[in-house]
């Protein structure tokens, strides 16, 4: 590893109107800055590509401020400390944190920067099952969804990073699990590899409501929604009494021009005494340890399968992010940066 290199980084050039395109991003090269007091220099190995990124580049209220024009794109990543001026970090430590889409990050570590154990699981898995998607699936399903043995759990975006985990954790809780995904290949993967009880290919169904009725004949007790839009609305009419709808995301809506806005007819929630609840995984940060322990236990017993879709090269960031919004990813989407070494 040599510091004679420069730092390649992806910066936000302009805010997209809808799907991000060529004008949205700029691949920029800068000098690698040496850490000042209390700072560390991290060589970034893997960048997590997440649906939340679309929200971060909108000029719209969210749980974090928008990424500014000209700023390096915000991203959760994993890397290795090259140089440390901070007493809690040593050269050679593997760390995860909000390092951004760049090859080298020089920063003062905040609460998000954690030293990780490379023996615990592959680094990519630490961005997936043991990272944000894992935390999201674990707390969203168990805390917000409150699954009970024998209940029917429906998961949208089921072949995605969070959805695949939600379904697998739901199976471990004794739920009957039905996934919704786009395409036969993804659906077969859900039932044949991940052990889902049934899968609905939304691209092949003309009448989503009828498909939901066939797949969930006793009603839906928990709907874990990553997608939003028409599917959410169709689902509301199949909820059972006291159903829980966990709103984890609304990826179908993130690229709507103007602003994120998704209309649903909420009346069935009234008639079914149901609950629709949003959550932000950052609220659970004090309890991440509990989830990591459970998830790494399940991983070591082969009870859950880490499913990752790793692409290579920082210059591929724009198309990799768009793959997420067009449903072209298959598992946890990760960008590997240090490909040349």
Q: Could you give the CA distance from residue 61 to residue 63 in angstroms, rounded to a whole number? A: 7
Tell me: does residue 142 bind a copy of itself (CB under 8 A): no
Nearer to a copy of itself, 62 or 300 (CB): 62
Q: Could you give the CA distance from residue 148 to residue 174 in angstroms, rounded to a whole number? A: 7
Least distance (Å) between residue 261 CB and a copy of itself: 5
Least distance (Å) between residue 224 CB and a copy of itself: 13
Least distance (Å) between residue 61 CB and a copy of itself: 7
Nearer to a copy of itself, 119 or 261 (CB): 261
Q: Could you give the CA distance from residue 197 to residue 265 in angstroms, rounded to a whole number? A: 28
Least distance (Å) between residue 147 CB and a copy of itself: 17
Least distance (Å) between residue 227 CB and a copy of itself: 12
End-to-end alpha-carbon separation of the chain, Å? 8
What part of residues 260-299 is at the interface with a copy of itself (CB under 8 A)? 260-267, 269-280, 283
Nearer to a copy of itself, 265 or 319 (CB): 265
Q: What angle do CA 107, 113, 114 make, to 5 degrees?
A: 140
CA 337 to chain centre: 19
Instruction: Reduce the DSSP state of residue 97 to 3 states and report it.
Output: strand
Tokens 């006793």 belong to residue = 218
Nearer to a copy of itself, 33 or 241 (CB): 241
Nearer to a copy of itself, 109 or 249 (CB): 249
Interface characters, 62-101, with a copy of itself (x: CB under 8 A):
xx--------------------------------------
Nearer to a copy of itself, 273 or 339 (CB): 273
Least distance (Å) between residue 64 CB and a copy of itself: 10
- Residues 204-221, buried b or exposed e (16+ Cβ, 10 A)? ebeebbebbeebbeebbb
Nearer to a copy of itself, 31 or 266 (CB): 266
Least distance (Å) between residue 166 CB and a copy of itself: 16
Least distance (Å) between residue 276 CB and a copy of itself: 5
Nearer to a copy of itself, 85 or 253 (CB): 253
Interface characters, 236-265, with a copy of itself (x: CB under 8 A):
-----------xxxx--x------xxxxxx
What part of residues 39-68 is at the interface with a copy of itself (CB under 8 A)? 61-63
Nearer to a copy of itself, 172 or 276 (CB): 276
Q: Residue 236: left (phi > 0), alpha (psi -120 to 50), or beta?
A: alpha
Residues shown for the chain: 341
Q: Could you give the CA distance from residue 106 to residue 143 in angstroms, rounded to a whole number? A: 36
CA distances to 120, 149, 152, 197 from 221, rounded to whole Å, are 34, 11, 5, 15
By CB under 8 A, the count of residues binding a copy of itself is 29
Least distance (Å) between residue 231 CB and a copy of itself: 13
Beta-carbon contacts of residue 48 (< 8 Å; ≥ 6 apart): 75, 76, 77, 127, 131, 132, 332, 333, 334
Closest CA to 44 of 88, 79, 68: 79
- Which residues are at the interface with a copy of itself (CB under 8 A)? 61-63, 247-250, 253, 260-267, 269-280, 283
């Amino acid at each position: 590893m040599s510091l004679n290199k420069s730092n390649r980084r992806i910066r936000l050039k302009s805010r997209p109107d809808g799907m991000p395109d060529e004008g949205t991003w700029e691949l920029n090269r800068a000098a690698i800055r040496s850490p000042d007091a209390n700072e560390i220099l991290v060589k970034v190995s893997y960048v997590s590509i997440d649906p939340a990124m679309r929200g971060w580049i909108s000029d719209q209220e969210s749980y974090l401020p928008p990424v500014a024009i000209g700023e390096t794109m915000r991203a959760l990543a994993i890397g290795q400390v090259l140089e440390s001026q901070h007493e809690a970090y040593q050269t050679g430590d593997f760390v995860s944190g909000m390092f951004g889409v760049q090859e080298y990050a020089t920063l003062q570590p905040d609460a998000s920067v954690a030293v990780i154990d490379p023996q615990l699981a592959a680094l990519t898995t630490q961005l997936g099952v043991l990272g944000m998607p894992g935390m999201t699936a674990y707390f969203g399903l168990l805390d917000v969804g409150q699954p009970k043995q024998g209940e029917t759990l429906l998961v949208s975006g089921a072949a995605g990073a969070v959805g695949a985990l939600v379904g697998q954790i739901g199976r471990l809780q004794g739920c009957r699990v039905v996934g919704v995904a786009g395409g036969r290949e993804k659906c077969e993967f859900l039932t044949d590899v991940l052990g889902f009880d049934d899968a609905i290919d939304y691209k092949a169904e003309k009448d989503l409501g009828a498909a939901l009725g066939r797949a969930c004949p006793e009603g839906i007790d928990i709907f874990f929604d990553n997608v939003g839009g028409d599917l959410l609305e169709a689902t509301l009419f199949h909820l059972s009494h006291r159903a829980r709808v966990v709103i984890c995301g609304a990826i179908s809506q993130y690229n709507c021009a103007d602003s994120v806005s998704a209309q649903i007819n909420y009346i069935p929630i009234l008639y079914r005494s149901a609950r629709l609840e949003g959550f932000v995984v950052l609220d659970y940060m004090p309890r991440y340890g509990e989830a990591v322990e459970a998830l790494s236990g399940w991983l070591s017993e082969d009870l859950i399968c880490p499913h990752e879709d790793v692409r290579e090269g920082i210059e591929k960031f724009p198309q990799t992010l768009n793959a997420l919004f067009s449903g072209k990813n298959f598992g946890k989407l990760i960008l590997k940066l240090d490909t040349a070494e």
